Amino acid sequence: MRRRAAEYRRPVRRRVSYWIWLFIALFSILGLLVFLLQNHHYHDPDDFPSLEKNARVEHFARESLNFTEEITSVKSFSRQLAEQMTLAKAYVVIAKEHNNLHLAWQLSKKIRGCQLLLSKTAMTGEPVTQEEAELIIKSLSSLIFKAQDIHYDIATTIVTMKSHIQALEERANAATVQSTVFGQVAAEALPKSLHCLIVKLMTDWLKKPSLKELSYENKNSLRLVDNNLYHFCIFSDNVLATSVVVNSTVSSADHPKQLVFHIVTDGVNYGAMQAWFLSNDFKGATIEVQNIDEFRWLNASYSPIVKQLLNPDSRAFYFGVYQDASVQPKIRNPKYLSLLNHLRFYIPEIYPQLEKVVFLDDDTVVQKDLTPLFSLDLHGNVNGAVETCLEAFHRYYKYLNFSNPIISSKFDPQACAWAFGMNIFDLVAWRKANVTARYHYWQEQNADGTLWKLGTLPPALLCFYGLTEPLDRRWHALGLGYDLNIDNRLIESAAVVHFNGNMKPWLKLAIGRYKPLWDRYINQSHPYLQDCVTS
């Protein structure tokens, strides 16, 4: 009877083993990848003492083992060890679930033996021999058979694996959300050195009457309205970032004295911005600094966005203590509540006598002369911009709610989006098309936030629809604030590089590969900058 029972159990065990192997296939692949990543650093000779360096160099001079091929080869002992180890790891989890700590300890011990043997193979480049692998494979097979023989049937395995996969997914999702939140907080924070610089500059502005006198003289300069010159506008509350934009533009220009910069900031940073640009030389370029608080015409009765930004519900959404965790952290970025961010839609009102202007974001760096932009033929269009629809996700349907008939009846969901941050605007055509009125209309339609959720690009796509002239891609390269893998050739050929994203070049979050592009336009010898860095 016992013999018959044993014979009956064998095929059942085989089926159980088969399903266990099937359900841990995912873990096998993951385990192999993790293992390869863990052992990758062993290939660096600098990780070993100097006595071993020569041996390592001499070893790699010979034809070494391809570990990837070895670990995937059907006939190799390395693959057998890796597969046994992955299966054993699954049973360690199940054994712990059933409080069989002794079996879990035995399996873990053999797993460490497998890892050591595979590590040796990866380091030396010598394949695992039968003598090395035989003992571990036999003992590990015995323990796996023991785990199968106890009470870990297929149902138990499936339930356990599902619960662990679900737990891992939840932890991964939570970690992703937390990482995004921390990244957003870091991106919104003002570095201490920059805050220090603002304080020093504000002190100068308040204590030096000569700066205010010079500022008053500059306001009456005829160069500010001379359409024979090249006009640029920047709207920012970041002194150092604005300085980099101006400095890089004049440094790249063939005739910097023909450039005029129109800067608008807020009341908090106005004095610091004035002090900085009045105290430093920018190769003879004309620089005007204005305070947005002095734009009396920009009020709630005229501008829907002003009315919406003053709404208590909007402010509670961005700055409230209790916030809905389901809302993306990016959408809560307070910059979207800043009127400076929306000022780009009022350029003709701010500069009524200008005919053409180049708009630059404060997280851009100019690498080539931009004055040829002013002679480009926009074919009657208002906005000259670089299109971003080389990838599918930069089309209209990704920014706007096409389930709303107001959007779907007027716009093509596959229309190509374009980039804000480096734009040439024909202000004569702008006034003729009354683009600002279009902006007001769409802001009123989106008062409840159902047409789009955040930012200035979605309303711009609506306002400049059919009024945008595509520019050569080399005028504007984007992604330096989030993309680690931008082609160097694209960066080198670009007239303007844009650090759009959270990893701004003035933050510690900055991508090290791109940061020198920004740093080169900062006068590191300036006493205020030196004092603020050391303090």
pLDDT digits (tens, 9 = 90+) for 249-296: 999 999 999 999 999 999 999 999 999 999 998 999 999 999 999 999
pLDDT > 70 in the chain, percent? 76
Q: Does residue 492 register a pLDDT over 90? A: yes
Residue 293's CB is within 10 A of a number of other CB atoms, namely 13
Q: How confident is the model at residue 508 (pLDDT cuts 50, 70, 90)?
A: confident
Nearest Cα to Cα of residue 366 among 485, 277, 251, 519: 251
In Å, how far are 253, 264, 307, 310, 468 from 292, measured between CA atoms?
28, 6, 16, 16, 27
Q: Does residue 502 register a pLDDT over 50? A: yes
Per-residue pLDDT tens digits for 215-228: 998 898 999 999 99
The whole-number pLDDT of residue 94 equals 77
Q: Does residue 385 register a pLDDT over 90? A: yes
CA distance 158 to 160: 5
Cα angle, residue 331 at apex, residues 176 and 440 outer, rounded to 5°:
160
Scanning 151-238, the segments in alpha helix (DSSP H) are: 154-188, 192-207, 209-219
Q: How confident is the model at residue 154 (pLDDT cuts 50, 70, 90)?
A: low
The whole-number pLDDT of residue 253 equals 97
Q: What is the mean pLDDT of residues 73-102?
A: 78
Please give the structure tokens belonging to residue 241. 């970032």
DSSP state of 386: -
The whole-number pLDDT of residue 52 equals 42
CA distance 492 to 333: 31
Q: What is the mean pLDDT of residues 109-126?
A: 81
Nearest Cα to Cα of residue 290 among 300, 280, 298: 298
| CB proximity list for 388: less than 8 A, separation 6 or greater | 394, 416, 417, 418, 419, 478
The whole-number pLDDT of residue 229 equals 98
